[in-house]
Each structure stands twice: as C-alpha cells, then as structure tokens.
Structure 1
Amino acid sequence: MAVVGVGIDVVDISRFDEALRRTPGLVGRLFTPAEATRPLASLAARFAAKEALAKALGAPGDLEWHDAEVVSEPTGRPRLDLRGTVAARAAELGATSVHLSLSHDAGIASAVVVMES
C-alpha cells in the first residue's frame, strides 16, 4: 500500500460553537442528520475530519459536505463513509483505504486522515 493523501485539521471548539450559533443552518449544511445529533466537541472533531479529508484529497472545490460522513463503529472507532463527490475524488487518486483519528481536549478538536492505495 502507498499513501496517496494525508490531511490534518484542528478546530477551536468555542469558535466553532460561536459560528454554529451565528449561522443556525450551518449544522444542516455541514453534517448528515446522524452526525448532527452529536455533542459540540464531537461535531467540532467531525468538522475537523471533513477538513482533513478535503486536504488529503487535494482540496478540490467541488466536494459536498454530506458526501463524507463520520460514523462510529460498535467499538467506538471512528470511520469515514465516502460517497458521491468525495468517493469519486478518492477513486481518482486510487485511494482504497481511509484511516481516521479524532481527538478533542482542552478546547481543541483535531483530526488526521491518511488515504492509501
């Protein structure tokens, strides 16, 4: 396997909260209905994951936010489900495996995405 993309992102949770309060429709634009039910720190980490994924994909401007969903496996391990525009870009790069790590502590949420062929 070869690495075809790496992305990292950090989110200040309080600034993210302010943005969500200022723009009430933002949650619906950024997150799937299942993701939108999560607590604030988890939402911030999921936003960081989507940003890190976009970076790993080369940051094309035509990606749809709902085409990447962070889901939790029964073990609690986070996983990215890709579809539509995001899956198409991953296929263009030859990515067959996506690894995700999330964290939130001390007011910061972070995510790292590694894509392999």
Structure 2
Amino acid sequence: MIIGIGVDVVDLARFTRAAERTPGLLTRLFAESEQLDGDVKRPLPSMAARFAAKEALIKAIGDSTGVRWHDMAIVSDGLRNPSFEVYNSLAGIVADRGISSIHLSMSHDAGVAIAYVVAEGDG
C-alpha cells in the first residue's frame, strides 16, 4: 500500500550559486559519504538531485517536524541504484507511519534536478 508520494525539482543554477555563496551548505545538508563518489567529490548537479530527493522524502512522509538533513542519506547499490538510509528521529517517524519501503528515483538534465519518492507500507 502506498503511504505517501513526494516529488521535488531543484534549479541547478540556483543550487550552484547557493553552494558557492555558502561554503558550509553541503556539509549542513549531506553526510560526507553523500558528497563523495568513491574518492572523488560528487558534481553539484548530482548533489542537487540528492537535495531534491531529501525534500521529496519529507513530502512523502507528510511532515518535516523533527526531521534533520543528516537523519537521511542517499546510498547506491552495486548497480548504482539509489536508495535511502534513515536514522535517528526519521527512523522513528518512518516506523510510526508504517512505512516499510522507500523507493527513490533521481535525475538531472537541462538545468534542473528532480527526485521522486514513494513510501510504501504493509497495511
């Protein structure tokens, strides 16, 4: 059963300006593991897609109360498919809402990044 759906779009130029203007922004929004692709710094369009994913997850769960940026991280499997790991208060919120699976799709092209999240439960 679908519990929630979220989508978010980020303007790449605006995100890049914000990241350049505010040096600590990426550290405030993302775990160090999210900022790196192996040993290489992840490009800003990919970071913008990850920001859109975090925003889309908040929409899918229905409320941002008690959620912090570092309570979620986007990880990739061996085929580079993205998914979420949730921690701390967000893990509790997800459990309380009966969410057993979170599906994520992200992309960036033509000046925008987009992410789509489906939160699914057993009930």
Structure 2 counterpart SS, 1:24:
coil
More strand by share: 2
Aligned length in residues:
116
Counterpart position of 1:52:
56
Equivalent residue, structure 2, for 1:26: 25
Task: Indicate which of 87, 90, 106 corresponds to 2:91.
Answer: 87
The two structures have a TM-score, normalised by structure 2, of 0.91
1:113 aligns with 2:117: yes
Q: Which of the numbers 27, 30, 42 marks the counterpart of 2:46?
A: 42
For residue 12 of structure 1, what is the aligned residue in structure 2?
Answer: 11
Point out where structure 2 has 5 or more consecutive residues left out of the alignment.
37-41
In the TM superposition, residue 59 of structure 1 has moved relative to its aligned partner by 2.2
TM-score by length of structure 1 reads 0.95
Residue of 74, 78, 81 corresponding to 1:74 = 78
Counterpart amino acid of residue 3 in structure 1: I
Cα distance in 1 for partners of 2:15, 2:65 equals 21
CA distance in 1, matches of 2:116, 2:63: 15
Q: What is the aligned-residue RMSD (CA, Å)?
A: 0.8
Moved beyond 2 Å, runs of 4+: none
AA matched with 2:55: E
Q: Matched residue of 1:62: which SS?
A: coil
